[in-house]
Structure 1
Amino acid sequence: MIEPIDPAHLPAPSPAYAHGALVENARRTLFVSGQPPWTTDGDTPAGFDAQCRLAWANVVSVLAGAGMTVRNLAKVTIYLSDRRYRDANAAIRHEVLGDHRPAVTVIITGIYDESWLLEIEAVAIG
């Protein structure tokens, strides 16, 4: 359903993303709002790894609410508060996505809440 597109004339992407994600004959599209690293009580854990795993868990919860999984992700945008989190972000993203390779963009920027070290938004196709 979602085919990774990696043209030969571009540098090879890491195993955790594709240059493009081709979607044909999709029946449903889910736009996942930016998911911050907060619990149902509004608490934010300390440390990047815990925040990253929680933000991904929140994305997975939204996907599940629509009857989807990470295999339905076509596009993911991750906003990091600091570039020093690049490697941990990539490792945890790969841990969550496994061999699924959606299109991914990582942006270093200010985040809405200063206690959040990242936020993740996505588009899923069903």
Structure 2
Amino acid sequence: MSELAISPLNPAILPAATGNYTHGVQVDGGSRMVFVSGQVPWADEHGSIPDDFEEQCRLVWRNVLAVLAEADLGVRNLVKVTTYLSDREYRAANSKIREEVLGDHASALTIIICDIYAEEWLLEIEAVAVG
């Protein structure tokens, strides 16, 4: 198996990618892909859900990272993250927490403002990782 290399793609003709993302990602040497289903803010097997957006966001990231860990992967393996927010008012908090979780790792990123399956869910995150 060749060594995994994840490289950002930021064409000079596009505005600079800010806020912990890259316009595209090139993957060389990966031998497998992991697709993380939309993770929601369930705290436990009983489906308890915090009311606060920041708590929900941290919980959703915990769930995403748990799926990655199950595949022996981590944040550095993320190549694409899609976040669904129930309201624009959560943009800043979402960005702040994403940056805390990802550190200096930048993946391709999409954020969509939309209705979410359950009214009490304030966000949902799905991801693609390579290993």
TM-score (norm 1): 0.97
**Identity, % of aligned pairs?**
59
Describe the SS at the equivalent of 2:21: coil
Aligned equivalent of 2:34: 30
Deviation at 1:65, TM superposition (A): 0.2
CA distance in 2, matches of 1:7, 1:95: 26
- Aligned length, in residue pairs: 126
CA distance in 1, matches of 2:98, 2:86: 16
Aligned amino acid, residue 39 of structure 2: Q
Which residue among 39, 45, 53 is the counterpart of 1:48? 53
Aligned amino acid, residue 66 of structure 1: A
Describe the SS at the equivalent of 2:57: helix
Deviation at 1:88, TM superposition (A): 0.7
Q: CA RMSD in A?
A: 0.7
Which residue among 48, 61, 68 is the counterpart of 1:63? 68
Aligned equivalent of 2:9: 5
Show structure 1 runs of 5+ residues with no match. Answer: none
Describe the SS at the equivalent of 2:49: coil
> C-alpha offsets along residues 37-95 of structure 1, whole Å, 9 cap, x if unaligned?
11123111011100000000000000000000011000000000001111111111000
Say if 1:15 and 1:99, in contact at 8 Å, map to a contact too: no
CA distance in 2, matches of 1:83, 1:12: 22
Q: Does 2:121 match 1:121?
A: no
Question: Where in structure 2 are the equivalents of 1:64-103 lying within 5 Å?
Answer: 64-103=69-108
Describe the SS at the equivalent of 1:49: helix
- Which structure's CA Rg is the greater one? 2
TM-score (norm 2): 0.94
CA distance in 1, matches of 2:16, 2:92: 17
Aligned equivalent of 2:111: 106
Runs of 4 or more, structure 1, over 3 Å off, are: none
